[in-house]
Amino acid sequence: MIIIIIHEWKIGMSSATETLCGQAFGAGHHHMMGIYLQRSWIVDGITATILAPVFIFATPILRLLGQEEELAVAAGPISLWFIPMIYSFVVSMTISMFLQAQLKNLIVGWLSMAAFVVHVSLSWIFVNKFKWGVNGAMAAMNMSGWIMVMGQLVYVFGGWCPNTWRGFSKAAFFDLLPVVKLSISSGVMICLELWYYSILVLMAGYMKNATVAIAAFSICLNINAWEFMVCLGFLVAACDEEVAETVSSLSIFFAFAILLNSVQPVLSGIATGAGLQSIVAYVNLGCYYIIGIPMGILVGYIADLQVKGLWIGLMSGVVMQSLILGWFVWKTDWDEQV
């Protein structure tokens, strides 16, 4: 859970690079994109360093949170592997945003595929052949992540981005405050959205048949993420008849969720591209935590609709978010934005 929280926070902060580089590219200020990238490295790198002690002291933190002693002790050595990983993620994510803003999506895809092949190969060697267990899996993950970073750096530094990367500049160390503000807004925006679903899954664990409720709700969330995945995998299947029946009873709500997921990400992406992260953060806070979660509790527990109630609450938050973001997009003067 600690890793997920920090990972999602870094995703949010890195999306500031997407906004800044996208606006610079659209305005024709190509030379500023490299400077924005360097500023993002500075801000995100400092943030990663501040967060690093969380991994170093994972065991006492988990003890403080009331986790079992065995779990807290086991998590300590594993969490140390994530320290180099968060730094590779900072560089990789920001460069990906930098390249995508220039419509260089293909190279990002090829590098990701290469890193995936390396990751699978190293995982098989370290875990199955060398019998290194969890340490082998973590080593493979770190190595594949840094290989991805090296490939991106070679592409950027090698002259394939002549208009947007003109070398390191002292200007990157100035005017950092706007980047910090946008990064924090982006981090809050993303975390409020992603933690919303995690909280609802946690709430499912307090229902009458907690195992079935969590399984059914999690399966629906995984199916709901189809459009964000290349492969669904085994997480959408269930051999338990009761779980399958519960998922089936949610089909109508789920169909509505698929419809919403064809609209909401687009509106959120437009708002992010326009630099409205702080506004979206407030929208997410209100829609998800003031409307969605209380509605889920009301309908799920008080009205006793169980998992259906949680799903209705989830959808009510997403519907309200889509309506508000749609209104912002409609009212925005795009000529002025340009």
Mean pLDDT, rounded, for 308-337 = 80
Confidence of residue 152 (pLDDT cuts 50, 70, 90): very high
Determine the pLDDT at residue 158.
Answer: 94
With 50 as the cut, is the pLDDT of residue 175 above it?
yes
Determine the pLDDT at residue 239.
Answer: 46
Q: Choose among 98, 88, 111, 109: nearest CA to 15.
A: 98
Q: Is the pTM of this model over 0.75?
A: no
Which range (87-96, 253-262, 269-278) has the least confidence? 253-262
Which of residues 241 and 86 earns the better pLDDT score? 86
Determine the pLDDT at residue 271.
Answer: 75
- The whole-chain average pLDDT of the chain stands at 80
Mean pLDDT, rounded, for 290-315 = 79
pLDDT tens, position by position, 189-233: 777 766 666 665 555 555 566 555 556 655 665 555 554 444 333
Determine the pLDDT at residue 213.
Answer: 58
pLDDT tens, position by position, 78-129: 889 999 999 999 999 999 999 999 989 999 999 999 999 999 999 999 999 9
Q: Choose among 135, 182, 159: nearest CA to 13.
A: 182
Determine the pLDDT at residue 244.
Answer: 54
Determine the pLDDT at residue 306.
Answer: 73
Determine the pLDDT at residue 254.
Answer: 62
- pLDDT over 70 percentage in the chain: 74
Q: What is the 3-class SS of the chain, one letter each residue? A: CHHHHHHHHHHHHHHHHHHHHHHHHHHCCCHHHHHHHHHHHHHHHHHHHHHHHHHHCHHHHHHHCCCCHHHHHHHHHHHHCHHHHHHHHHHHHHHHHHHHCCCCHHHHHHHHHHHHHHHHHHHHHHHHHCCCHHHHHHHHHHHHHHHHHHHHHHHHHHHHCCCCCCCCCHHHHCCHHHHHHHHHHHHHHHHHHHHHHHHHHHHHCCCCCHHHHHHHHHHHHHHHCHHHCCCCHHHHCCCCHHHHHHHHHCHHHHHHHHHHCCCHHHHHHHHHHCCCHHHHHHHHHHHHHHHHHHHHHHHHHHCCCCHHHHHHHHHHHHHHHHHHHHHHHHHCCHHHHC
Mean pLDDT, rounded, for 148-172 = 94
